[in-house]
Structure 1
């Protein structure tokens, strides 16, 4: 069995994801695939279009064999924390042969060389970085300059400074570098691969061909509220699954639907906002003052955004407040060496074979029926992580089920079992 690991959000699963899946299997020779997928809240600090089980079902219907949830505390954070959590989950399964990710660079050797320098921080690189910082240069620029000087001196890559900057500043390259860095930190045997992204960029907001970004798809759904607009850019299993959910009165979710709830939390917790993760340097005061004059979530985000804090950073910070993710709890788990559990969301027959391999090779707790999670609540890391998974599902579902309140039985993590796609 040759098992490929993928790190995904599938928000939603589109034609570009299908290309990535098929190409990844081709270049790794994989016979089986595991996707580590964000749950109901995502890395940009926003809710997923559809719930995690629905998106996992889409993934398996499109060819993924097993979908495992990335714990919420990692799923909603910066590239470094997100990547470490996802790679740690794959590594903890102890049966994954490879990982393959999309990147703008498309050359694994280039990304690996850069990652090794950033992880190992050779003494000469540290000296160069210190010199640039002492000259008053901001850290990102100082790091790229030190990196280029070090690479050039030892002729490690044939690359210009402009090309290096492009690599360091491109969305998927950033994630790719963090994936490789995490593999190195964990001393993992998983082999990394990458494929070049095709057509639309990660942040492109327009649908111009049959392969476009998830951002463009979400924008189209929000503006047009019409699935037919995206029928050519998603595989048929995605389209039919989304159509069934919408016909069942489950509308696509967008972050502005949480504005009232978030505003109430900000006002209630005004005196403890600085205890939440990523709320630093007095930004809590700006958030508190801005909520009074904001008529929408976008208003609030724009009011708090600055040259120092990007929009994505603000969205993640506000999401941490929404979900109540504290600095204290994040410090308990962000550097753990092994993930304490693997939460199964969906699988097929090949997925069953992978689960057997995990049970044979790893001591990780596999969660199928959520009612059984109490068996390891004495483990502090387990308890912290799983508690936020439950909380985020509850927060998500309070809005997601607003047209189906009769179906909301309680904390839905305890009522929904993994989806078996035959």
Structure 2
């Protein structure tokens, strides 16, 4: 059974995702799909619209066969570590033959040439990166600028002209870098992203819209039914179900009270120990707090933003504070060692067969719940804590909701 791996957030699963999934099977000549999916908090430093079990069910009903959770230690990181954690999980399954990701360009050849040259971080690239950062631009802008200059110096004008600054192209490069660094035999493929950009808020097609636009539509409408033209029927059904339970519109403002409690009760030095808090950001935060007119997330974010501190970087930094993610625990040295388990969130009948194979082929233990495991694995404990923090954003959370990782079995479909 040839198997393709995909790396997803499904926030929520929509028609564009369904297209990507079906085309991934086709161009890789695969029979099954293993999806590595972010849990409750995402790469841009945001809470997911819906909880991870609902999104796993969306994935399975949309055509995935096994859904594996990308731990929050990686899911809320910048592109390098998000990609590395996800690729390492696909590699560890022992059953994934190909990786297919979407990109704005759809052209994988220049990305592969760059990945081969940059995989082991040559000194010349590090010097270019430092030079770009000295100009005061954001880290993503500095990275794309340094890549262009490095590839121009390497005599590859096609790669030097490649639009690395586009978000899916950036992630694609980091997936390839991760495969190179892992020495993986997984074969990479890329599909061109069509009709809706990654963070496009406007809707310009009758059936395809970005997840960002769909979330905006859901937030501004009385009912998720407004998303119907842009999502499969199964996604709409699950959106309606969670909406009826008061759990279908999770966003940052629901977590503002928890966040502000930490911001006002911890010193600048204490804030400085959290992941992504650097270059004096902790002092900037403390200075801004008395100037705010309300204890809401958006006004805080707007006041903190600068050319260097982009919205995404700030969201990840504030999320690290909310979740208590310590710099030492999530250091590059620790992240490089990779995840120590494969947490299964759901599977299909075909996925059940894949899991049987994985029990002999996987390089890591397969975990179906946190019970009896989390206390011995600090990264799995971070996922348990993330679930508790996420559930506290619901108006009617129960103790069982807070500790659902210990009780919930993987989602299955027939």
Give me the TM-score of the superposition, normalised by structure 2.
Answer: 0.92
Partner residue of 2:311? 311
CA distance in 2, matches of 1:44, 1:134: 21
Runs (5+) with no aligned partner, structure 1:
378-382
Once the two structures are superposed, what CA deviation does each residue of 1:341-392 show, in whole Å capped at 9, x if it has no partner? 0111111111111111111112411111331315x81xxxxx2211110110
State the partner residue of 2:210: 213
Alpha-carbon contact 1:6-1:99 (below 8 Å) kept:
yes
Alpha-carbon distance between aligned partners in 2 of 1:134 and 1:171, rounded to the nearest angstrom: 19
Contact 1:132–1:142 (CA<8 Å) still a contact in 2? no
Give CA deviations for 1:217-249 in whole Å, capped at 9, x if unaligned. Answer: 111111224222210000011001111121233
Deviation of 1:292 (Å): 3.1
- Does 2:10 align with 1:10? yes
Task: Describe how 1:19-418 pairs up with structure 2 within 5 A.
Answer: 19-120=19-120, 126=125, 129=128, 139-140=142-143, 143-151=146-154, 153=155, 156=156, 158=158, 163-164=161-162, 167-209=163-205, 210-270=207-267, 271-294=269-292, 295=294, 296-331=296-331, 333-336=334-337, 338-373=338-373, 377=376, 383-400=377-394, 402-405=395-398, 408=400, 410-418=402-410
Larger deviation, residues 200-209 vs 389-398? 200-209
Q: Separation in 2 of the partners of 1:203 and 1:144?
A: 23
Secondary structure (helix, strand or coil) at the match of 1:371 reads coil
Compared CA separation, residues 272 and 80, structure 1 to 2 (3 A): same
Asked if the contact 1:276/1:327 (under 8 Å) is kept, the reply is: yes
- Tell me how far apart the structure 1 counterparts of residues 132 and 290 of structure 2 sit (CA, whole Å): 39
Once residues 291 and 384 of structure 1 are traced to their aligned partners in structure 2, the CA distance between those partners, rounded to angstroms, is 32
Find out whether 1:421 has 2:413 as its counterpart.
yes
CA distance in 2, matches of 1:32, 1:414: 28
Runs of 5+ consecutive residues of structure 2 not aligned to the other structure: none
Change over 3 Å in CA distance of 1:113–1:242 after alignment to 2: same
| In structure 1, C-alpha distance between the alignment counterparts of 2:194 and 2:91, rounded to whole Å | 28
Assess if the C-alpha contact under 8 Å between 1:370 and 1:417 holds in 2.
no
Contact 1:128/1:146 (CA < 8 Å) preserved in 2? no
2:130 and 2:67 map into 1 onto residues whose CA distance is: 46
- Shift of the alpha carbon at 1:121? 5.1
After TM superposition, what 4+ stretches of structure 1 lie above 3 angstroms from structure 2? 120-123, 125-142, 156-159, 407-410
Partner of residue 380, structure 1: none
Could you say what secondary structure the match of 1:107 adopts?
coil
Q: How far apart in 2 are the matches of 1:285 and 1:137? A: 19
Distance 1:128 1:69, change over 3 A: closer
Q: Deviations over 1:185-219 (max 9, x none)?
A: 11011111000000010010012221110000111
- CA gap of 1:388–1:137, structure 2 versus 1, over 3 A, is closer
8 Å Cα contact 1:92/1:339 also seen in 2: no
SS for the counterpart of 2:298 is helix
**Matched residue of 1:80: which SS?**
helix
Mapped contact 1:40–1:396 kept (Cα < 8 A): yes
Is residue 83–residue 175 contact of structure 2 (8 Å, CA) maintained in 1?
yes
CA distance in 1 between counterparts of 2:165 and 2:200 reads 15
Deviation at 1:147, TM superposition (A): 2.3
Q: Displacement of 1:63 after TM fit?
A: 0.5
Check whether the contact 1:263–1:291 (CA below 8 A) recurs between aligned residues. no
- Rounded Cα–Cα distance in structure 2 between residues aligned with 1:266 and 1:20: 40
Separation (CA, whole Å) in 1 of partners of 2:62 and 2:372:
29
Give 3-state SS (helix, strand or coil) of 1:325's partner: coil
- TM-score w.r.t. the length of structure 1 is 0.90
Deviation at 1:291, TM superposition (A): 2.7
Larger displacement relative to structure 2 (142-151 or 345-354) = 142-151
1:105–1:196: 8 Å Cα contact kept in structure 2?
yes
Give me the whole-angstrom Cα distance separating, in 2, the residues matched to 1:353 and 1:242: 29
Larger displacement relative to structure 2 (295-304 or 17-26)? 295-304
CA RMSD of aligned residues (A): 2.3
Deviation of the 1:137 alpha carbon: 9.2
Task: Classify 1:28/1:409 alpha carbon distance in 2 versus 1 (closer, same or farther; 3 Å).
Answer: closer
- In structure 2, what is the Cα distance between the partners aligned to 1:409 and 1:134? 43
